[in-house]
Amino acid sequence: MKVGIIANPHKKGAASTINALTEVLAKHNITSLLEDESAKIIGVQSGYSAAELAKNCDVITVLGGDGTMINAAHRIGPTSTPIAGINIGTLGFLTSCTDDELELFAQALIDQSYKVIPRILLETCITYADGKTESDFAVNELTLSRGQTGRLISLDAFIDGALLNHYHADGLIVATPTGSTAYSLAAGGPLLSPIAKAFVITPICPHSLTNRSLVLDDSSEVELVTTDESDCLAFYSIDGRDVIELPCDARISIKKADHQLHLLRLKDRSHFSTLRKKLNWG
Is 141 flagged in the annotation as binding? yes
Q: Is 239 annotated as a binding residue?
A: no
Q: Is 130 labelled as part of a ligand binding site?
A: no
Give the span between the Cα atoms of 122 and 142, in whole angstroms: 8
Confirm whether residue 119 is marked as ligand binding: no
Flag whether 140 is marked binding.
Answer: yes
The pLDDT of residue 91 is 66
- 140 burial (CB, 10 Å; 0-12 / 13-18 / 19+) is buried
Kindly state the DSSP code that residue 91 receives in the 8-state scheme: -
| Residue pair 119/79 in contact by the 8 Å Cβ criterion | no
Please give the pLDDT value at position 169.
93
Dihedral (CA of 36, 14, 100, 83) sign: negative
pLDDT at 249 (0 to 100) = 85
Host H or E run for residue 218: none
**122-258 has the same fold as 2-113+267-278:** no
* Percent of the chain scoring above 90 in pLDDT: 82
Non-local CB neighbours of 49 within 8 Å, separated by 6+ positions: 35, 36, 75
What pLDDT sits at residue 268? 85
Range 158-179 average pLDDT = 97
Q: 206-255 pLDDT, tens per residue?
A: 998 889 999 999 999 999 998 877 666 899 999 999 999 998 889 999 99
Domain ranges of the chain: 2-113+267-278, 122-258
Whether residue 170 is annotated as binding a ligand: the answer is: yes
For the four alpha carbons of 103, 2, 74 and 161, in that order, the dihedral sign comes to negative
The per-residue pLDDT for 51 is 96
Q: Please state, in angstroms and rounded to a whole number, the distance separating the CA atoms of residues 147 and 233.
A: 8
Query: Which of 264, 280, 270, 277 has its CA nearest to residue 106?
Result: 264
91-140 per-position pLDDT tens digit: 689 999 999 999 999 999 999 999 999 999 999 999 998 999 999 999 99
pLDDT at 230: 66
Q: Mean pLDDT, to the nearest integer, of 162-175?
A: 96
CA 270 to chain centroid: 18
Give the pLDDT mean for 67-86. Answer: 96
Q: Would the pTM count as exceeding 0.85?
A: yes
> 3-state secondary structure string, 96-160?
CEECCCHHHHHHHHHHCCEEEEEEEEEEEEEECCCCCEEEEEECCEEEEECCCCCCCEEEEEEEC
Amino acid at 105: F
Residues marked as catalytic = 66
Domain 122-258 has CATH 2.60.200.30: yes
Q: Nearest Cα to 243, choosing from 184, 188, 171?
A: 171
Q: What is the pLDDT of residues 141-157, one digit of tens each?
A: 999 998 777 788 999 99
Report the pLDDT value the prediction gives residue 231, as an integer from 0 to 100. Answer: 65
Q: Whole-angstrom Cα distance, residue 125 to residue 30?
A: 40
- Give the CATH class of 2-113+267-278: alpha beta
Specify the pLDDT at position 278.
86
Closest CA to 215 of 159, 154, 280: 159
